[in-house]
């Protein structure tokens, strides 16, 4: 599933082609992509609106809309497992996986989705859609100190806590594993037992990992994730632990291992990320 860096890359690459474009029509090929919203509601919200920004909240793409220079809601897209959003010429050939096409005043915006898990809908109220999400790891809501306090206020294992979108928005399996390795913390360590210095290091490594992945346009370790220009990301070539189980650690040489934590494959080094001590 695309995580924060892949979604941020998509928003940045779409922005030059979308901002200022007016939506002329809506063609829904797979109604379930709307997540329960009616096609009529989607058309009512989108047709005639102009796109003013292309951005991101957590793992969602968010496009601000206006009518008559007044805010007019939002187009919200979640790529899920295999979604791809891109701008094409008006007469571009249609993919067999096309789920929604928006006709613009110049070109079309296509949403392809092989596995059909993605979501594409109109929202009148942005806050209502994202009310349950936690703070952004790259935003200004958190610093190292407040992140440490948030960790210690929970009594959960680090890996599932960092995947919890109500705690921190946008992280997924790849970047949690990479960040925990870079900070030397075991994925099963209890969050309330992480000292402030280690919490601060984890916070900085999360931000550094995400920024480096964005600079490389995300990670493409399968055929599904491609940028709006059709190119793969390249951060997968920088992975330190994710998907490298059975291979030597690039820091210490010990064989990396994979365990399952909360039904998620979890990759780490038993030497660089020592297991937490058991307390009686």
17 Cβ neighbours under 8 A, 6+ residues apart: 87, 107, 228
Q: 180 and 163 in contact (C-beta within 8 Å)? A: no
Overall size of the chain counted in residues: 280
Taking alpha carbons only, the member of 250, 245, 221 closest to residue 233 is 221
Say if CB 49 and CB 22 are below 8 A apart: yes
Count the Cβ atoms, other than its own, within 10 Å of residue 259.
13
The DSSP secondary-structure symbol of 276 reads P
Residue 129 CB burial class (10 angstroms; 0-12, 13-18, ≥19) = middle
Which residue in the block uniquely carries the two structure tokens 């249609």? 94
Query: Which residues are part of the catalytic machinery?
Result: 2-3, 59, 264
């Amino acid at each position: 599933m695309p995580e924060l860096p892949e979604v941020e890359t998509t928003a940045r690459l779409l922005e030059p082609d979308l901002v200022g474009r007016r939506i002329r029509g809506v063609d829904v090929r797979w109604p379930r992509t709307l997540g329960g919203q009616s096609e009529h509601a989607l058309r009512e919200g989108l047709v005639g609106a102009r796109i003013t920004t292309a951005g991101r909240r957590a793992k969602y793409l968010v496009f601000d809309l206006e009518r008559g220079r007044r805010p007019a809601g939002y187009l919200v897209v979640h790529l899920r497992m295999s979604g791809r959003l891109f701008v094409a010429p008006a007469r571009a050939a249609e993919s067999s996986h096309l789920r929604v096409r928006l006709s613009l005043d110049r070109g079309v915006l296509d949403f392809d989705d092989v596995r059909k898990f993605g979501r594409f809908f109109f929202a009148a109220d942005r806050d209502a859609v994202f009310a349950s999400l936690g703070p952004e790891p790259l935003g200004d809501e958190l610093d190292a100190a407040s992140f440490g306090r948030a960790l210690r206020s929970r009594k959960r294992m680090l890996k599932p806590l960092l995947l919890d979108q109500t705690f921190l928005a946008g992280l997924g399996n790849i970047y949690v594993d990479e960040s925990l390795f870079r900070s030397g913390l075991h994925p099963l360590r209890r969050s309330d037992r992480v000292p402030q210095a280690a919490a601060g290091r984890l916070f900085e490594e999360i931000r550094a990992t995400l920024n480096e992945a964005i600079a490389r346009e995300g990670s493409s370790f399968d055929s599904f994730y491609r940028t709006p220009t059709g190119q793969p990301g390249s951060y997968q070539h920088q992975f330190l632990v994710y998907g490298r189980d059975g291979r030597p650690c690039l820091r210490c040489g010990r064989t990396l291992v994979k365990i399952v934590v909360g039904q998620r494959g979890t990759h780490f080094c038993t030497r660089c990320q020592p297991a937490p001590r058991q307390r009686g």
